């Protein structure tokens, strides 16, 4: 299998796991991404637009829907009185932690047939691709996420 085919198919596989986990937690994939990004702390709307690769209007709609569900709240930006930051509510924080843990478990299972050395090699190679392409930290490393969820 070529690199292109493997990466595209792997993307579909991970997206399917993400969507299934989201459905079971009452989240759309986009809401799941938003909650995972906010696990590290509040973010400004401009920062979220760039991280999630959304148009401003799409992000506004996503935040509106997620806010109506009681998962996030808008708060004033302490550095800019004209701006707002988006933060998890206590309910959103609990849901984000549950969604994150379940999604990690399911994605981990995708590589269950690999040995330890193969898993390490896969992580190293994919990590290099992510770093080289400056992918934003939409999904935290499990050991880092634990700090935010405890």
**pLDDT, tens digit, 9 for 90 and up, residues 62-114:** 999 999 999 999 999 888 888 899 999 999 999 999 999 999 999 999 999 99
| pLDDT at 66 (0 to 100) | 96
Read off the pLDDT of residues 9-63 as tens digits, 9 standing for 90 and up: 999 999 999 899 999 999 998 999 999 999 989 999 989 998 888 999 999 999 9
Question: Are 34 and 63 a contacting pair, CB within 8 Å?
Answer: yes
Q: In the Cβ-directed half-sphere of 12, how many Cα atoms lie within 13 Å?
A: 5
Q: What is the pTM of this model?
A: 0.83
- Other beta carbons less than 10 A from residue 60's beta carbon: 14
Nearest to 77 by CA among 46, 35, 52: 46
Residues 6+ apart with CB under 8 A from 19: 29
**Closest residue by Cα to residue 65 from 78, 54, 81:** 54
| Residue 1: pLDDT band with limits 50, 70, 90 | confident
pLDDT at 146 over 60: no
The token pair at 106 is 């399911």
**Is 53 within 8 Å of 133 (Cβ atoms)?**
no
The tokens describing 144, both together, are 């880092």
pLDDT value at 147 more than 80: no
C-alpha–C-alpha distance, residues 146 and 134, integer Å: 23
C-alpha to C-alpha distance for 17 and 3, rounded to whole angstroms: 21
- Domains parsed from the chain with CATH numbers: 3-149 (1.10.10.10)
Measured CA to CA, the distance from residue 113 to residue 2 in angstroms comes to 20
CB 71 within 8 A of CB 128: no
């Amino acid at each position: 299998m070529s690199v292109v085919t493997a990466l595209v198919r792997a993307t579909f596989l991970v997206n399917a796991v993400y969507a299934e986990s989201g459905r079971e937690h009452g989240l759309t994939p986009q809401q799941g991404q938003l909650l995972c990004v906010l696990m590290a702390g509040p973010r400004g709307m401009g920062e979220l637009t760039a991280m999630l690769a959304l148009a401003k209007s799409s992000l506004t709609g996503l935040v509106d829907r997620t806010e109506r569900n009681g998962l996030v709240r808008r708060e004033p930006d302490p550095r800019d009185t004209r701006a707002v930051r988006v933060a998890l509510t206590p309910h959103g924080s609990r849901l984000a932690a549950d969604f994150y843990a379940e999604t990690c478990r399911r994605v981990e299972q995708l590589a269950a047939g690999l040995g330890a050395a193969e898993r390490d090699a896969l992580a190293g190679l994919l990590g290099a691709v992510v770093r080289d392409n400056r992918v934003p930290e939409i999904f935290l490393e499990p050991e880092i996420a634990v700090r935010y969820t405890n």
